[in-house]
Structure 1
Amino acid sequence: MVDVWEPFSPPAALRRREMLGWLGYLQAVGPRVPAVDARSGPVPVLTVPGFLTGDWSMIPLARHLRRSGHATFTSGITVNSGCTEMLVESLERRLEDVVAAAERPVVVVGQSRGGTLCRMVAVRRPELLAGVVTLASPLLHQLATTQALVHQVQLMARLNVCGWPWLLTTDCLSGGCAERTSALLESPWPAGLPFVSLYSRQDAVVDWHACLDPAAEHIEVGGTHNGMGTDRHVQRLLAAKVRSFSART
């Protein structure tokens, strides 16, 4: 595990592509896809959004999964901006509720920071999971990102001190929270639990090298960081992987 990960500066062309990647979330608007019974059929899926987004950002991906026959559940995260340790604990409680409702283990799919949280929860509660898939997630270091985003995170920590409690804290960056959550990322992966990390060399937000967790199966895809969850190829690939997890349950 890398203790120090230098922020990187992506080329201007990749930064422009990341801005266009947000257009994919227009797919979140549209007719609702009917829910699927979580207790029968293919394995259910719990989706976890990335940094500074919420469950709304996973709607396009969840719709595709439901069309493929999977029941889907949201994480309950309105904005993924809070303390890392608190988010892990909240996600663990949500996972317990989903497994109780589905009456069987489920797959968790996390985008960006959401995937990092999924990796941490999987180490704590592997018995609740049928598999984990991460999309453009920094798995080797929580701040394997651009200098601009590092500055943004540091600003959020300062705002927390000024009375914005819904933002992550300085403790999440360099204190006890950072040490404990980093230890979770470094923990051995639970034996036999499927783990897939999708990444893109065109990623202009997260250093793609940080997505290459040795415990995971690595799958390279095209496209941008922001657009990964709305990319049709990624959605089809993800559904196929989740179906392969279903065969194990």
Structure 2
Amino acid sequence: MKRQVIALGGGGFSMEPDNLALDRYILSQSEEKEPRICFIPTASGDKPEYIRRFYEAFGRLTCKPCHLSLFEPLFQNLHDFVLEQDILYVGGGSTRNLLVLWQEWELDGIIAEAYQNGVILAGISAGANCWFEDGVTDPLNGPLYAIEGLGMLSGSICPHFDGEIKRRPAYLEAIGKGTMKEGYGVDDGAALHFVDEQLIHVICSRRNTPAYKISRQGVETFEEAIPAAYLD
């Protein structure tokens, strides 16, 4: 059973409500004709508007949408609810808050089990950070810093690589200093698709939107553009 992670640097329904190309791509990776996709908005504090926009977008697509709230739980058994899904789609917000709450609810371990059982993991921003060993997070009115993720994927990621002015320089500096592992800078509108922990595709919803492999030699960092397949 193959393991899949689709990590969005930005885009999707929450940033491009009139362009659901990345969301359609996520659904297309399931073998189910009408996949069960569960939105997990923990990182935003389960903002009602964010949840509403998810249902509005995925209600237009061929799927069975639902959401998982840790603030107003509707499930009877968290483990069974998660394992019943075909896709878990994690929203953006605070990566730190997401990880703390998941650990408190033991949701991190449940998601790891779901991943091993073939449930597709997807997410944007904080929902991309969480799958890697390291991610870049930005506290309110503070400098960006590295945060440990769940480590399903090795290395690091920087979402919004081109979309937020502080992201790229902070990420490159952290890799250059060795405080973050080498990894990927992912522009808004681009996504990385991993199968069995190997990067197999880079896709984008905006033309000429690549991702970047970031490596280090000594204190020097190097960016290698990875061309992305444009999703019409």
TM-score scaled by structure 2?
A: 0.40
More helix by share: 1
TM-score scaled by structure 1?
A: 0.38
